[in-house]
Amino acid sequence: MDIAISIRGLKKKFGQKEVLRGIDLDIIRHKTTIILGLSGSGKSTIIKHIVGLLRPDSGEILVDGVDVAKADEKTIFMIRKKVGFLFQSGALFDSMNVFENVAFPLREHTKLAKKEIIKKVEKSLEMVGLKPKEVMTLYPDELSGGMRKRVGLARTIIMEPEIILFDEPTTGLDPITCDLISRMILHLQSELNVTSVLISHDIKESFKVGDYFAFLYQGKIIDFGDKEKFLNTNNEYVKQFLNGESEGPIKIIG
């Protein structure tokens, strides 16, 4: 299989807390890989390493063959141009309206004329199911939670990234909006043929969009496979997670 991102032996501590204890994970190109795990298990820490927002204590993170862990700032900047990151909050600028927020990456990284920027902003908003004329002049505090996520997604895709990282895209949203966001992710996968990495603890929405699944527990990936393999796992802790069970012994991974 064609591997877009290869992570080997990734370790990370924050103070005395060992969050990642040797992560090995391959992300397959043009597919959606879901990283599941409990809240606070280190899922966000993994994807922040992929774009160089965090540096590992040891290990390597190869993005198209380039080790982000050892890359200089110029190389990381080039990698970030091909990797889109949708933060959990959407991370919109409160002082900018929707148009200015979505246009921001183009103004930072290109020399496109204003007319071309407007066209690209409109196209990106349409791709996430928003009507440009209705939303472009609105500010973040005038948007619902779901709309903020969609505007953030429009900004993420406007640079036409090869890889998109989704940090808990449905957290804090109602079930109908969660389903809408999941359908947006599937639509973008079909339209753009991107490689996607999505971190979540939302089992239902994850199985709507995922091709491959990894389970993070106590700083290690303890199970990986496609949907069928994952649903039929022999790993007792993963089965407990998928079944939503909180009672009974929890297997300790040494």
Q: What is the pLDDT of residues 75-108, one digit of tens each?
A: 998 888 889 888 766 678 999 999 999 999 999 8
What confidence category does residue 199 fall into, taking pLDDT thresholds of 50, 70 and 90? Answer: very high
With 0-12 / 13-18 / 19 or more C-beta atoms within 10 angstroms meaning exposed / middle / buried, residue 69 is buried
Report the pLDDT value the prediction gives residue 246, as an integer from 0 to 100.
Answer: 46
Strands 32-36 and 212-217 turn out to be parallel
* Axis crossing angle, helix 145-157 with helix 98-109, rounded to the nearest 10: 20
- pLDDT, averaged across the chain: 89
- Give Cβ neighbours of residue 124 (< 8 Å, ≥ 6 apart): 102, 154, 155, 157, 158
**Residues of the chain above pLDDT 90, percent:** 62
Report the pLDDT value the prediction gives residue 90, as an integer from 0 to 100.
Answer: 62
Residue 160 backbone zone (phi > 0: left; psi -120 to 50: alpha; other: beta): left
Give the pTM. 0.88
Report the pLDDT value the prediction gives residue 149, as an integer from 0 to 100.
Answer: 86
User: Does residue 122 surpass a pLDDT of 80?
Assistant: yes
User: Does residue 125 surpass a pLDDT of 80?
Assistant: yes
